Amino acid sequence: RDMIDIMGHELRTPATVVKLNVELLQKYINSNPDEFKKHLNRIKDAIDTEIKLINTLLSSAKLEGNKIDINSEKVDILQEIEMCIHGHARDAKLKKLKLINKAKRRTPLIYADKARIIEILNNLIDNAIKYTEKGSVTVKTGYDKEKVTVSIEDTGTGIPKEELSKLGKKFYRVDNYIEGRNLDPVDIVRPGGTGLGLYVTFSLVKLMKGKIWVESKLGKGSKFIFTVPLYKGQDEKTKKKISLNMFERMGLKK
Ligand code: ADP
């Protein structure tokens, strides 16, 4: 039933927005370039939302079937944080939120799956912006001899204490924030949500041998914190194995 709800509402909403705006575009095609641009942007946003949703649904389905491949390598987490912050600049600006990068410049390399680290950062920054009406979203890093710690802190709605332990469960949403929001249907470019983003995020961090937890105060904001192992040459062994196999395969045993 949860899946049907998502299909029925979350996936259909952006598609409906695209359809409506394409119809409006036809009206303005020759007469009003500003209106034309506005509706084009709405279409782009709705498509972005749809793609994000489909990716989350796919990751979630793969996780459930144990079909997710984690290909860890050395990753420059600073670079990925910068890219993700850059990618969210427009969303933050639209809500007049400050998006602040306070990552430590000397943060060491991590051992992780790059695409999955990007997915985790995007999910957490996305949520921080989505559940914050004013103030800021700040990304920080810390590190010790074993791990890098990344935190994404917002000044948003916050999460009630009794709900914190339930976060990361499949389809779980703290639903009281969504109610009472009176948005014009055409303006809904970001659908309510699926309750799958954190399930995917929490599962991916654990698969990469990290930890994730949340600190939050209702009405003040939330802080999502996760750790990932440092890069210490973990992939050297596998690399050697692969190249040896290649020699063997070509009949050129050393
Ligand atoms: P959704 O698609 O509903 O955003 P998520 O799995 O990403 O799904 O998040 C689950 C729920 O956790 C959200 O519905 C929301 O209630 C709560 N939540 C997640 N991130 C935040 C945040 N930064 N601030 C407040 N609440 C949050």
Predicted local distance difference test score (pLDDT) of residue 74: 96
- 128 ligand 1 Cβ < 6 A: yes
Distance from C-alpha of 18 to C-alpha of 23, rounded to nearest angstrom: 9
Q: Which amino acid is at 211?
A: K
**In Å, what is the CA distance from 70 to each residue of 18, 58, 163, 217, 223?**
34, 15, 30, 33, 26
**Rounded mean pLDDT of the chain?**
88
CA of 125 to the centre of ligand 1 (A): 11
CA of 59 to the centre of ligand 1 (A): 17
Residue-wise pLDDT for 176-219, tens only, equals 544 444 444 433 333 478 889 999 999 999 999 999 999 999 98
Q: Whose CA is nearest to atom 7 of ligand 1?
A: 197
Predicted local distance difference test score (pLDDT) of residue 221: 96
Mean of pLDDT values over 153-174: 91
Strands of 136-143's sheet in order across? 98-102, 136-143, 147-154, 221-229, 212-217
Q: Residues near 67 by Cβ (< 8 Å), separated by ≥ 6?
A: none
Residue-wise pLDDT for 1-24, tens only, equals 777 777 778 888 899 999 999 999
Higher pLDDT, 243 or 114: 114
pLDDT > 90 in the chain, percent = 67
Predicted local distance difference test score (pLDDT) of residue 6: 78
CA of 17 to the centre of ligand 1 (A): 23
Task: Give residue 178's Cα distance to chain centre.
Answer: 19
Question: Closest ligand 1 atom, CA of 172?
Answer: 10
* DSSP 8-state symbol, 133: S
CA of 218 to the centre of ligand 1 (A): 13
Mean of pLDDT values over 25-47: 90
Mean of pLDDT values over 48-64: 91
Residue-wise pLDDT for 58-84, tens only, equals 999 999 888 888 999 999 999 999 999
